[in-house]
């Protein structure tokens, strides 16, 4: 998934820095990815650590991480994916509110894909309610649907707006591909809470923090992923069909520093690593001052190609490279 702030391309920078500080052998360590998003960082560490704790405020991220992180034993999924891909479309909520030729003409999905998403989503819920699938397969199938729907979304990457014409990739038929996860022997844990509440209830060795850097709220930019994941009843608002969404303190210049300091102070972890870039709401100096109050501080940096949507995003920026910081605290 092309996700704002994804650490997909930075995972080796992060793993190297963690190994340099916390040691190469992490097999007895608990690693927490507190702002997990797509889960890519937790997924990278899952094979090397004893336990991953993963968390995000957004429900779609919870679904992805329930699958990618918490699922760790083989699942017998093949027949379910096959059946989902054979379903005929239905005129459900996604078709009516968010698809071409639906009643609202919001062009997030082609007509065919909107109907397919409804049919698939309804079937997954039906299987769960009839106890035909267990909770592990439920999240596996939901994550597979989210990833597959995102591939055919008619957007310039985020769901803050849709394109005026259905682009080529969005005209392709949605095929549910299995959201495969890393098999291993260990149990992992996934939460869907505010970071500053959860931090007071958990402990471990390595805390990885990757909060939003700027004012763009994830709940607004990915509202349709929450709507597919929750499949609840509400009245979509305005042209874009927005739902009520979470407002994170990390996206607010007025609140970010207080929340960040509260988080650092409350963390019951030996090492904390914070990803942030040089264009974020907090300056590197602010971060250093806060973290230094609670232990030994260090910093590593790398140059990085910023997140780019495929059309209008970032149009005001001329440069593409940004400096990515990894602030380190040893308590
Ligand atoms: C920069 S993204 C994380 C990207 C992730 N590391 C990845 O590679 O996919 C920031 C994440 O923080 C989450 N978030 C924002 N505020 C939060 C809060 N108060 N508590 C927990 N998660 C929060 C957002 O939903 C978003 O997924």
> Residue whose CA is closest, atom 13 of ligand 1?
35
Residue 159 pLDDT > 70, yes or no?
yes
Name the pTM for this structure.
0.95
Taking CA atoms, 255 is separated from 160, 259, 282, 316, in Å, by 23, 6, 10, 26
Asked if 310 and 199 sit in the same domain, the reply is yes
> Residue whose CA is closest, atom 5 of ligand 1?
37
Asked if 235 and 194 sit in the same domain, the reply is no
Is residue 217 assigned to a domain? no
What are 159's strand-pairing partners?
none
Total number of domains constituting the chain: 2
Residue 314 pLDDT > 50, yes or no?
no
Asked if 163 and 205 sit in the same domain, the reply is no
Is residue 85 assigned to a domain? yes
Asked if 26 and 95 sit in the same domain, the reply is no
- 1 CA: nearest ligand 1 atom: 9
Asked if 190 and 161 sit in the same domain, the reply is no
**pLDDT > 90: percent of the chain:** 91
Asked if 96 and 143 sit in the same domain, the reply is yes
SS3 string, 16-34, reads HHHHHHHCCCCCCCEEEEC
- Amino acid 312: pLDDT: 43
Is residue 67 assigned to a domain? yes
Asked if 226 and 299 sit in the same domain, the reply is no
Asked if 53 and 140 sit in the same domain, the reply is no
Split at pLDDT 50, 70, 90, the class of 317 is very low
Q: Which CATH number fits the domain that encloses residue 30?
A: 3.40.50.150
- 222 CA: nearest ligand 1 atom: 25
User: Over the stretch 16-72, which tens digit does the pLDDT of each residue have?
Assistant: 999 999 999 999 999 999 999 999 999 999 999 999 999 999 999 999 999 999 999
- 259 CA: nearest ligand 1 atom: 19
**pLDDT > 70: percent of the chain:** 95
What is the DSSP-derived secondary structure letter of residue 282? Answer: S
Measured distance CA(4)–CA(56) in Å, rounded: 14
Is residue 129 assigned to a domain? yes
User: Over the stretch 240-268, which tens digit does the pLDDT of each residue have?
Assistant: 999 999 999 999 999 999 999 999 999 99
| Structural domain containing residue 267 | 1-72+184-212+248-331
- 58 CA: nearest ligand 1 atom: 25
Q: Could you tell me how many helices (H) and strands (E) the chain has, helices first?
A: 13, 7
Split at pLDDT 50, 70, 90, the class of 306 is low
User: Over the stretch 219-246, which tens digit does the pLDDT of each residue have?
Assistant: 999 999 999 999 999 999 999 999 999 9
Asked if 50 and 96 sit in the same domain, the reply is no
Specify the range with the lowest mean pLDDT, choosing from 2-6, 138-142, 147-151: 2-6
Sequence-distant (6+) residues with CB within 8 A of 58 are 192, 218, 219, 222, 225, 226, 246
Q: Is 136 within 8 Å of 79 (Cβ atoms)?
A: no
Is residue 288 assigned to a domain? yes
- Amino acid 140: pLDDT: 98
Split at pLDDT 50, 70, 90, the class of 303 is confident
User: Over the stretch 161-178, which tens digit does the pLDDT of each residue have?
Assistant: 999 999 999 999 999 999
Residue 135 pLDDT > 70, yes or no?
yes
> Residue whose CA is closest, atom 1 of ligand 1?
5
Asked if 162 and 94 sit in the same domain, the reply is yes
Asked if 138 and 6 sit in the same domain, the reply is no
Tokens 């874009």 — which residue? 240
Ligand 1 surroundings by CB, under 6 angstroms: 3, 5-7, 35-38, 40-41, 55-58, 61, 194-195, 210-212, 218, 248, 250
Asked if 129 and 205 sit in the same domain, the reply is no
Split at pLDDT 50, 70, 90, the class of 322 is confident
Residue whose CB lies within 8 A of the most ligand 1 atoms, among 7, 191, 210, 229, for a mutation test: 210
- Amino acid 304: pLDDT: 78
- Amino acid 310: pLDDT: 52
């Amino acid at each position: 998934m092309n996700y704002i702030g994804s650490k997909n391309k930075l995972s080796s920078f992060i793993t190297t820095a963690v190994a340099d500080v916390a040691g190469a052998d992490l097999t007895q360590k608990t690693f927490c990815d507190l702002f997990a998003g797509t889960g890519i960082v937790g997924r990278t560490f899952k094979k090397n650590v004893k336990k991953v704790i993963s968390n995000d405020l957004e429900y779609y991220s919870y679904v992805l991480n329930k699958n990618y992180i918490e699922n760790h034993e083989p699942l017998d999924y093949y027949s379910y994916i096959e059946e989902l891909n054979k379903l005929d479309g239905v005129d459900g909520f996604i078709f009516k509110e968010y698809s071409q030729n639906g009643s609202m003409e919001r062009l997030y999905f082609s007509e065919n894909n909107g109907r397919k998403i409804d049919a698939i989503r309804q079937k997954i819920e039906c299987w769960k309610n009839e106890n035909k699938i267990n909770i592990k397969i439920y999240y596996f199938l939901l994550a597979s649907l989210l990833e597959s729907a995102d591939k055919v979304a008619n957007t310039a990457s985020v769901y803050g707006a849709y394109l005026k014409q259905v682009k080529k990739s969005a005209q392709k038929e949605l095929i549910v591909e299995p959201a495969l996860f890393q098999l291993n022997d260990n149990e992992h844990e996934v939460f869907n809470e505010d970071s500053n509440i959860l931090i007071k209830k958990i402990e471990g060795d390595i805390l990885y923090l990757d909060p939003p850097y700027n004012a763009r709220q994830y709940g607004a930019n990915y509202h349709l992923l929450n709507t597919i994941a929750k499949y609840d009843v509400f009245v979509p608002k305005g042209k874009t069909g927005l739902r009520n969404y979470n407002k994170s303190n990390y996206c607010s210049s007025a609140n970010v520093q207080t929340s960040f300091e509260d988080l650092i102070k409350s963390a019951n972890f030996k090492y904390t690593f914070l990803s942030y870039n040089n264009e974020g709401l907090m300056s590197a100096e602010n971060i250093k001052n806060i973290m230094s109050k609670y232990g030994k501080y260090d910093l590593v940096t790398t140059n990085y190609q910023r997140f780019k949507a495929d059309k209008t995003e970032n149009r005001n920026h001329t440069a593409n490279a940004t400096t990515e910081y990894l602030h380190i605290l040893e308590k």
